[in-house]
A and B are shown apart, each in its own frame.
Chain A
Amino acid sequence: MIRQHPLLQPYTPSSDEPFDEVKAAHLLNRAGFGGRPDEIERVMKLGPQDAVDWLMDFPDAPADEESKTDQPDLSPVEGYPKNFRELREKLANKTPEERKALQQMLMQANREALVQVVGWWMKRMASGPFPLQEKLTLFWHGHFTTSAKDERAALLMWQQNELLRRQSAGNFREFVRQISRDPAMLDYLNNQQNKKAHPNENYARELMELFTLGIGNYTEDDIKQAARALTGWGHDGQDFVFRRFDHDDGEKQFMGRRGNFEGDDVIDIILENKACAPYIAGKLFRSFAYDVPEDGVVESLGAQLRDAKWELRPVLRTILTSKAFYQPRAVGVQIKSPIQLVVGTVRLLDLEFPQPQRLANPLNLMGQVPMMPPNVKGWPGGRMWINTSTLFVRYNTAVFLAGGAMPDSGDRLGKSFFGGKFKGPSQDRGDITGNFRPKNAAGSADELVDQWVGRLIQRPIDDEKKSVLREALGDDPNAASVRKMIQLIVSTPDYQLC
């Protein structure tokens, strides 16, 4: 039994370290996508413990169980075949030209549906009822990665997204079992092709290398044996199927044990490996608090995860209420992911969420398109988000959201990250947030600077920068000059951090 690390004990406010606006905003940034003044005030009133309880008070359920009306618009794929069997039937007795035409229509419809799913999800992040659940869904999407490229079905991507949401704070063992049966995952990592006669090792490898243990905690032979246990796990285009005749039920030697292991046995044995719990708990800590935790923090959290029989909520609660989480080194040290930047800007400026295809190209150029991770490792994050090129795109996109011009993205503007053309105004270069009028443009110039820096950056900035913003407002601030100042605030290095 490892004793809890002192830095993981609960932070309790004191007169020296009060739970102030900066700390409340910090919690809302990390456990969500940023808080508006009313939300910050609410969190301050609740205090650090109750605020976390409030944020964690979401059902372990998919969005469409939370609300029957909250679903992506999937009309683009309406009427198309639902699974491989129907597809085969539809393609039978067709000429090659007819088949090709149908496949192209399907592909186009699927791409449109994908954009709807991505847009629906981002809108949920910005204005859904449970920001922490969406933040966790995004975290797990970067962990149990699946990409929509290769024309993966939008419906399967959405179904997986709902699985990530349902399990986001649930039981990790159950999570691994379910994701290992998820059709989009089985497809992405080729377990669909993993058969007794010809094993495909791709899923088995990533299951250990990226999803549970980290590299160096298994052998090449363990991968081969795990792949055998997972043979026959596939999908029919719609649901998980277990193909008995493709399954290898023979004896396997896996991580020093011998037996006729099945897929779930392999998962259980992996979770018994002592590397697993710290790997998962540490990744959560780094994502929600900061990189490079102090010695012993990860081990302590790992022990808690094992003791809690792989329930994720207690570990999350520990992280979000800990002394570590509120240390000065933790506040404002995280570089916002492109999704955090975009969704946060929409939230903090109280904007209507733009049409998803309008954001596709900027998100692509910033390096983070939801459902299109660069590879199975997900997004590396941290300083990896920033280079001379992405920094320009980040500034330009934030300025655009704050009522500025569409960022110059050349001739690719309006084309989708899924490569398709879109109905609707995607070619329109117009100013989607042209209606953005800052609501509070009243007050003295100094008050307005403080107000908007507080609202957007949520931490103090240096006096030199403040005076530049003060200048930008002019002597007689009006809506236009306030908007101009806001565009400058979101073009600061400070705004890139949370």
Chain B
Amino acid sequence: MPRTLFEKIWDAHVVHRRDDGLCLLYVDRHYFHEGSFHAFNMLRARGLKVRRPDLSFGFGDHYAPTRARDTAAIADPEIRGIIQTFESNARAAGIRAFELADAQQGIVHVAGPELGLTLPGMTVVCGDSHTSSHGALGALAFGIGASEVAHVFATQTIWQSMPRQIRVTFDGALPQGASAKDMALALIAEIGTGGALGGAIEFAGAAVRALSVEGRLTLCNMAIEAGARTGMVAPDAVTQAWLAGRPFATPVDIAGLRSDDDAAFAAEVRLDAGRIGPMATWGTSPEEAVPLSARVPKPEEAPDEARRRAWRRSLEYMGLQGGERLADVKVDRVFLGSCTNARLEDLRAAASVLKGRRIAVPMLVSPGSSGVKRAAEAEGLDRIFTEAGASWEESACSLCVSMNGDSVGEGERCASTSNRNFVGRQGRGARTHLVSPASAAAAAVTGRLVSAESV
């Protein structure tokens, strides 16, 4: 029977299969962050121990302050407390956790792959929806809830039903100026936030093969925003070269890690990468995205009544009329960060736009990991950012989710490289426009939603 890449990895991890098809899968790699306190509490309530502390790794990221690395110095007692709880839970369980001051700290979906902790063929879970990112390395990776985190801690396994398989093929070559983020936004605009609901996406095609591992991580990161449980890319020579020499990486034979030629997919989506340009969201759902060169749609143009109402609500929240050119929409601030777009390649793309220019609105840069920060400083990117007037800070989830004390003000408009433009995501009443790193830099320079080309 020909099988998909997903099915091959799945089959290799089945510990127990029930008659109804539900499978108990072995978990090779488990990541957790500060939100894990619920799961640790559940373990304690049942008197259970972490069964395989050697297979779990913790990263302090969601509450990590953007401007300091000293836990004891955090002013907000709740934030300080949750970071301390994370650190003490990990220590008590004998788990390696990359704490705030650790040189290898970072956002779990940036630092994990970068340290070589995620490898092709692995099953990877984390109590965080963007765990799909790790599929970029050819792993089967998905987000889970707190009860499931407790289950993984206690048993090193997880119950899963086989999701439907969806192949998304990007044919052709991405034009100059467009990036993996634009591919992701173009896809979600096309199929909707429910387009891949409950499914597993395999990204394929020439434009995906041509992406660096960083770009593939961005693409798989956003798979969840199309409703998918995970996204993945078959590992290849690019993957192998990227993993070589990373601290925790061990050699993997990737020969069989691809979908068989006649493997069956429940759905196929094809996009022409050659037609994808820089994108931006205008509303409060990632599917509400259009090219930066376009206009904000009007509710009358919605395909159905439900969406007409949703669009109206989005426009009202976003303080837009509908019909205006995105290039005329003024932003108040810019965020370059998050597990979607704060890797070295992303920082380089933004820096190349900022070089020799001054920003018109405040811009916060938070590298995806402390390792990315050092690498960027080694090549002088920090100087480009600071000379342009941007704030160059520490690695944290920061304005992606606004849990660490950073937030966008009520009614303020932010061009952001993160992944969710939900109502209130960056702060109560905050208005988020999702864009690529290059477009974020262009927005910082002009104070408007424009592409890097027009700067």
A, B from the same assembly? no
Residues in chain B within 8 A of chain A (CB atoms) = none
